[in-house]
Amino acid sequence: MTDPNTPPLGAAHSAEKLERRRRTLILAQALLFLVWQVSFWLERTHRETLWTTGGFKISATVVWALLLCVVLATGGGWFRAGAARALLDNEITHDHRRSAYVWGYWSGILAVVALYLVTRFFPLTTMEIIHALLTVAVVVPLLRFAALEWSGDG
């Protein structure tokens, strides 16, 4: 007789497949978000056009950053069945998420210090500083989470 609390063998395989898909998507999204930021820094030399032609880019960046933060916080998979989400939301995932948050916090602190030092020698606008901090605060935790999920280590 089987224990009703033990998930079926197929569930473990499904969970592994979903975990693999999640870590690949998070890694890809983090890298794409980082690449997207290059267009902002390339426009830095054309500051007068940044607000007129880049308003959509700035809005898209903010929305994308918020969505990525929500994905990291919740694990994504909103359209999956509750059982599938429960399989993905285990203690190891919680540890990986906690580590990603710590890395995000410290990278944010280090970015603030670095930007403080940089602005002593090179003028940066408030928008540029905010953009740099947003990039660091979004990308570092996502990369850390994806790396931990990929390695399977805590």
Yes or no: say if 43 and 54 are a contact pair by the CB < 8 Å rule. Answer: yes
Q: What is the pLDDT of residues 64-92, one digit of tens each?
A: 999 999 988 887 766 666 666 676 778 88
Quick check: is 133 in a domain? yes
Instruction: Note whether residue 86 is domain-resident.
Output: yes
* DSSP annotation of 78: T
- C-beta neighbour count of 82 within 10 angstroms: 7
Residue 98 main-chain phi, psi, to 5 deg:
-60, -45
pLDDT, one tens digit per residue, over 86-119 is 767 788 888 999 999 999 999 999 999 999 999 9
Residue 3 belongs to some domain of the structure: no
Closest listed residue to residue 50, CA positions, set 128, 123, 114, 121:
128
User: What CA–CA distance (Å, rounded) separates 119 from 153?
Assistant: 38
Q: Chain centroid to CA 80: how far? A: 20
Residue 1 has pLDDT above 60, yes or no: no
Q: How many residues in the chain?
A: 154
Residue with the bigger pLDDT between 50 and 16: it is 16
Identify the domain containing residue 93 by its residue range.
9-151
Q: Look at residue 25 and tell me if it is in a domain.
A: yes
In a domain, 143, yes or no: yes
Q: How far apart are CA 92 and CA 94, in angstroms?
A: 5
Does a structural domain hold residue 4? no
The tally of domains found in the chain comes to: 1
In a domain, 33, yes or no: yes
CA distance 138 to 72: 9
Is 2 part of a structural domain of the chain?
A: no
